[in-house]
Amino acid sequence: MCEAAFAGNLARGRELNNALLPLHSRLFVEANPIPVKWACAELGLISPALRLPLTPLSAGLHDTVRDALRHANLI
């Protein structure tokens, strides 16, 4: 998205941004960075371990964030 925008291809940058908007909004279903860390762990990018004061993402929101990752073609 950024590469397209910096290269002057604003239409492609907007297209990529619009495809990611559902993910962006769902990464804020709980206090940041809880959903972001959960999503990164779900993608295997980081360990799911957390240190206080962070708490795990509420179990009822796992499918919400997972569906957004699918929509963004990340899983």
Tens digits of residue pLDDT in 33-74? 999 999 999 999 999 999 989 999 999 999 999 999 999 989
Does residue 41 come out as left (phi exceeding 0), alpha (psi in the -120 to 50 range) or beta?
alpha
| DSSP, res 58 | P
Query: What's the Cα-to-Cα distance from 59 to each of 21, 42, 68, rounded to whole Å?
Result: 22, 13, 15
Query: Model's pTM, two decimal places?
Result: 0.80
pLDDT of residue 42: 94
pLDDT of residue 25: 92
Task: Compute the Cα dihedral for 7, 8, 12, 14 and give only its sign.
Answer: positive
- Is 43 in contact with 75 (CB distance < 8 Å)? yes
- 22: domain range? 2-71
pLDDT of residue 41: 96
Report how many domains make up the chain: 1
